[in-house]
Structure 1
């Protein structure tokens, strides 16, 4: 229980540390920034600690999401957290299942193929889960489907790959079970840690460069927009100042003079729609003004134009340029402008140009708002310039007005489509702001700057913001190159480092294997040399018996009569036959060594064959005229599972069986032996046929040192027949060995590989035998 709790807490700590690293290395940071690395570190932790640590991963994810929401103030929805948590846990569990064999058997460092398979599974393959999850979360987070989701996909995949490929081997190398020395493991861990840190710093530097470029582009657009607005305001101000100076300098200005002068200063490409002159007209002069020019008008509370009510003075618009499309405002009293639009008292009291709030123009539709720039014009008597500065209403001549519509201008100066930046301008002078241009910006994961601009007593708020969040913005080739270069470079570095360890393991294994093979080859060579020496010793010993017999018989031959000579000659022939048999066996053994001893595989009746062997042994026993005290017997026992027909070499089986049967009595020091025939079936129709020789005497077993010697060394040293029989067994895919059972019983086991005869082959063999019998 204590160990489980420690692993639980350690998993949470490692997981949170990895997630915290993303806050330092990733700029700008959003909710999806940690998903890829978190999935990668989860892969490593679940593979190392086991699937029971998924609960710790869930706890760590919830803690980190709370940190992002409350500390970093990131907009996080519950659906995003649930999808992310499920995907991270799925990736970790899937990785555990995919790598279960390599980790459990600990063969991932035994060969390069196993290593590459492990890295591919925990890296490029399994990281697709987190990459696709990020796409889903981005769509939920931004409520849009951008054109550049592939970069988000690749960057998340890259983070997961790097964390899993670097951290998983490091955790696995901390286990003592891995077949790596401590210096090798320390080298790999330190090198991998430094490489991982270097890659993280490269990403950090690259992102800082990207953000600087991003800020520079944004600053250029901002300066261009602000400069354009300021230039447009200056143009309007200059036109009003010029027009006011013209009226100050002139005693009386008629329509032609106004049009001529205004035509010179009016810029058709500016935002100014019209320039107006509204002179001060006293009530006593109203009738004459209306008779000469136009009826004085005003707007009621509903914005409807009507005849002006009686007041002490008026400021009706007398002249307007251009007149066409602006004639509807002739006679409109500017002093009746609503105070929430513009305060005319402030205009009179101020020596500067005053701007109004956005209004609907009488001469235009409601889709294009206008702004009035009004400047009061005072008289300038000689020697009384102070009246202008003091702004006394008695010296007021009238008002010059510039009607400005900024919509086309704002569209002209707004950022280009390639800049992917939105412009939003509003008048925030009053508590309720007026929208001048654009739409409210979406500030979610976008860089937004707001600038307060003083425009002739009005306060404008100019907002510039990115159209797409950073994750969905187009990236240049340097960003793509850095992403792929760092990812592939990091993977390649880790592969090479681990390959060095694997290659070192392979070399060590090969050295150990070659050393073992050399030792075995040396032992086999020594055994062969010893076997040859012992075989020659056995052969020479067996040859000495007939040679000595021939020598003795030859010495007796001159001294014997004719009857005895015939008997001696017959004994010499028997000795010669024994020598011939020995030489034939030596010849057979040499053919086996040279690979010239052929073994066939033909169907035959095994039970009939064993019966014939029994008959042959009986005939040999009868031909030797052996007494009852010297009688030797061989009892055959056949297991019920032994097939009746097999495919093998009948002649070779007969050869080694006769050799064993003739030698086993002497070897076991027993007159009565038992031969048990068994079979061990393999797949399909292959099997191993076993011939087991055991003692059948009732007398107690006497394991003489001689028998134990052959058990411990090689029974082929007993006689040339045994050597030849053992070689034949080995040639037929089996072997022959001596053993002493736990009860002390002596056992000789000979085995060969056979094929069980099919029904078709059995029928063909029986037909052939029947045909031969009919022919005879």
Structure 2
């Protein structure tokens, strides 16, 4: 298929679908569609595709839409319909060419309709002026074909033109923004840009449907209301007619005899001026031998030619044939209009005779089917209701005769039908007694509106069933032009078009800004990449410097500890203690710097585990009770009257904060006391707010320095660092840790009187937590921990000088640094262990191959040839042979990600450098204990 053919089919198909959709928006009766999307689709195709192909496609698509419409309206398709559809299609094609010419002339082929100038030209000239051709051609064609009257030409032309114009200004920009090539926005972004317009489009369509439904509902309600009134009026006429016949029945029953004069006087009173009655007759059963007497009686009354009559085959009245019995009309009123029925033998016609006999036998009124009355002129349809009359007083003359009520259907309901027709409602009444055929009584000349089902009700008269249909006709005021729906639809789509133009302008402005931003973004991206590289370099630098600092510090602290265990004079001991203190200060600086870096980068996590506040306080007391004794400073922990035994939080970080605060308190307090006051506030069934105040009687902090105290690398006074030491990070880290845990920290201080730091920390209660009674709490606290519940760390810390905790253990130390090898060997050998040193990873694997007595592997991480992670993986890869050998990293790599990598490589734990001997021994013992 050639590109030309493809463009023809694409255009024809798109036009046809858009046209069918436009027909859904047509507003009855006789409106052209309030919006014709096909016109906008046609112009967009003309701009985007092969122009000649688009013209052919528009002609084909328009012809199909209109041919389908004409066929539906006429219930068929003839030559007139063909040429009408072809003419409208030709007008649509010419309009497309004209609109396209205006577009290329005024705007140009490369425009995205995204500037105010282009939008204004499109809305004010191209849309309105470009849509003149189809409206003029189409309205003229409809008038020429007889589909619209001359007086309706202007209205048809106007609605056609408005529909096409709105279709162009709404749909052409939408299609162009979706499919025109010179654009850098994605299809998804284009849809997002059009979402406001599509929303208004959908809302307008919904309002339009709602308006149509509301109007149809109002029309239906009006039909219901009027039909109910018409049903009531007809039913009332029937009741009145029946009641009058019952009055005749009573008149004959109550009279000994009724003469013609009596009958006429009674009838004059009762039915004069009642159009429902053609006449009222009285019939008795007369035998053949009684016939002369009856005929003579009426001749004597002045009716000289009176005789019983019957119609012949041609309907001409003739004297009645000789019969055993006759059913003559003896009285009739009014005589002038019913002379032909005077003397008529009702029994001459078999169906009528059967009706009379059935009425007598059943003693009920019986009506005839609709009949042409012999006494009326023209084609008037009537119904005769025969009412049998019985003498209830004289059994010998029990049956008296028949009242014949001759009803004119036109007279009974004609006024009601005309009244309905004047309001645009049609009424049809039929006799539906026979299940085979329906007999029409009265039919309106109005045409019903198909979308409204007629309302129907049935009536009974004389044993026959009648059906009455009431419907809205095309002449009803209710079927007039639905201006409200038309205004809703037109206004809504105009708003959609305006909004679409605004979106296009915004998008065009956005595109120009985007290009400018793209240039700036490249510069910013380069700067961002440089900043990210710098940040990565900073993190790597911190990690590397931490390792590089800790490695020699491990040697310094380790060798210092080893020297302190040898015989020394007082001056040497003093120098070494000061060396160790300086090393520990440097180590604290490194640790604080790393903690701060992790908090700053958001990599520091807090745990949520069950723990005991009492245990944390025991550790704090254990750490500082000796320092308090050495400085001759009172140290006291005050507990509340009740405290939960278990809460949920991060005990390690809480302990770290308390260590910082207590360390500062002892550092700046030379006499007096350091106190920890613990309180539990806002206690509920699920939470408790822990308040811990650490106060001292030290040097205090001036008010003008307090605001900066929690800032990083700040202290109250620059001379503080020189006099007391410290990093200036401890309080900043403490504050951030407390805030990470959801709490806060505050300060109250006076120079020369002391300081008080208060922590407020909300903590959830652990499951099955209970509150300790006053007897279970002591204040001041009892000595830290007994041997029975002490941990390995506590036991080692308290007894390191008197026991050999690593006795009978063989430890393989994998370490490439010779000084650290010496420190590790001397340290662990001094604690009772047999130490084997491996200077590299491969060497360590060879040792494990040859020896089966290794109880523990202490493994450095950063080593040449093979790092510690790889060594651990290879050990674990041996399967059952080495699966149970405990491996602890002993390294200066102390970042959290370093520790996680250790566990991932198969190690059992982590010991940081520089070594804290008691902690290292405790971890070794804990690991061995867990193994067993």
Paired position in structure 2 for 1:119: 123
Q: Distance in 2 between matches of 1:211 and 1:128?
A: 33
Q: Distance in 1 between matches of 2:227 and 2:142?
A: 28
**CA pair 94-345 structure 1, distance change in 2 beyond 3 A:** farther
Range with bigger deviation, 284-293 or 227-236: 227-236
Cα deviation code 1:617-640 (max 9, x no counterpart):
xxxxxxxxxxxxxxxxxxxxxxxx
Pick from 376, 379, 388 the counterpart of residue 377 of structure 1. 388
2:400 aligned counterpart, secondary structure:
strand
TM-aligned CA deviation for residue 167 of structure 1: 1.5
- Give the TM-score normalised by structure 2: 0.46
Pick from 229, 233, 236 the counterpart of residue 228 of structure 1. 233
TM-aligned CA deviation for residue 314 of structure 1: 1.6
**CA pair 313-32 structure 1, distance change in 2 beyond 3 A:** farther
Once the two structures are superposed, the pairs formed by residues 108-507 of structure 1 within 5 Å of their partners are: 109=113, 111-132=115-136, 135=139, 145=149, 152-175=156-179, 177-178=181-182, 181=185, 185-263=190-268, 265-266=270-271, 268-293=273-298, 294-337=306-349, 339=351, 344=356, 347=359, 352-366=364-378, 369-379=380-390, 396-408=399-411, 409-415=413-419, 419-425=423-429, 436-442=441-447, 447=452, 449=454, 451=456, 453-456=458-461, 460=466, 462-468=468-474, 473-475=479-481, 478-479=484-485, 481-501=487-507
Range with bigger deviation, 333-342 or 394-403: 333-342
Q: Distance in 1 between matches of 2:442 and 2:180?
A: 69
Q: Distance in 1 between matches of 2:225 and 2:144?
A: 32
**CA pair 267-124 structure 1, distance change in 2 beyond 3 A:** farther
Paired position in structure 1 for 2:94: 90
Range with bigger deviation, 273-282 or 322-331: 322-331
TM-aligned CA deviation for residue 140 of structure 1: 7.4
**CA pair 37-172 structure 1, distance change in 2 beyond 3 A:** closer
1:233 aligned counterpart, secondary structure:
helix
CA-atom RMSD in angstroms: 4.5
Paired position in structure 2 for 1:15: 15
Q: 1:370·1:403 contact (CA, 8 Å) conserved in 2?
A: no
**CA pair 417-502 structure 1, distance change in 2 beyond 3 A:** farther
Q: 1:296·1:332 contact (CA, 8 Å) conserved in 2?
A: yes
TM-aligned CA deviation for residue 290 of structure 1: 0.5
Q: Distance in 2 between matches of 1:142 and 1:220?
A: 35
TM-aligned CA deviation for residue 305 of structure 1: 2.0
Q: Distance in 1 between matches of 2:231 and 2:179?
A: 63
Once the two structures are superposed, the pairs formed by residues 693-708 of structure 1 within 5 Å of their partners are: none
Once the two structures are superposed, the pairs formed by residues 652-663 of structure 1 within 5 Å of their partners are: none
Q: Distance in 2 between matches of 1:495 and 1:175?
A: 17
Q: Distance in 2 between matches of 1:175 and 1:39?
A: 17
2:97 aligned counterpart, secondary structure:
helix
TM-aligned CA deviation for residue 356 of structure 1: 3.6
Q: Distance in 2 between matches of 1:136 and 1:345?
A: 68
**CA pair 311-383 structure 1, distance change in 2 beyond 3 A:** closer
TM-aligned CA deviation for residue 366 of structure 1: 0.7
Q: Distance in 2 between matches of 1:414 and 1:35?
A: 39
Runs of at least 5 residues in structure 1 that lack an aligned partner in the other structure? 388-393, 513-776
Q: 2:308·2:319 contact (CA, 8 Å) conserved in 1?
A: yes
1:174 aligned counterpart, secondary structure:
helix
Q: Distance in 2 between matches of 1:491 and 1:264?
A: 74
**CA pair 451-238 structure 1, distance change in 2 beyond 3 A:** same
Q: 1:444·1:469 contact (CA, 8 Å) conserved in 2?
A: no
TM-aligned CA deviation for residue 448 of structure 1: 6.0
Q: 2:284·2:402 contact (CA, 8 Å) conserved in 1?
A: yes
Cα deviation code 1:295-322 (max 9, x no counterpart):
2122222222222111122222222234
Q: 1:31·1:68 contact (CA, 8 Å) conserved in 2?
A: no
Q: 1:341·1:356 contact (CA, 8 Å) conserved in 2?
A: no
1:105 aligned counterpart, secondary structure:
coil
Cα deviation code 1:135-171 (max 9, x no counterpart):
4576578756286666555444444333322221111
Paired position in structure 2 for 1:586: none
Q: 1:46·1:54 contact (CA, 8 Å) conserved in 2?
A: yes
Q: Distance in 2 between matches of 1:418 and 1:492?
A: 45
Q: Distance in 1 between matches of 2:152 and 2:466?
A: 34
Paired position in structure 2 for 1:42: 42
Cα deviation code 1:529-571 (max 9, x no counterpart):
xxxxxxxxxxxxxxxxxxxxxxxxxxxxxxxxxxxxxxxxxxx
Once the two structures are superposed, the pairs formed by residues 600-611 of structure 1 within 5 Å of their partners are: none
Q: Distance in 1 between matches of 2:12 and 2:456?
A: 44
Paired position in structure 1 for 2:746: none
TM-aligned CA deviation for residue 359 of structure 1: 4.2
Q: Distance in 1 between matches of 2:222 and 2:340?
A: 45
**CA pair 82-398 structure 1, distance change in 2 beyond 3 A:** farther
- Give the TM-score normalised by structure 1: 0.55
Range with bigger deviation, 142-151 or 401-410: 142-151
Q: 1:221·1:415 contact (CA, 8 Å) conserved in 2?
A: no
TM-aligned CA deviation for residue 285 of structure 1: 0.9
1:109 aligned counterpart, secondary structure:
coil
TM-aligned CA deviation for residue 52 of structure 1: 0.5
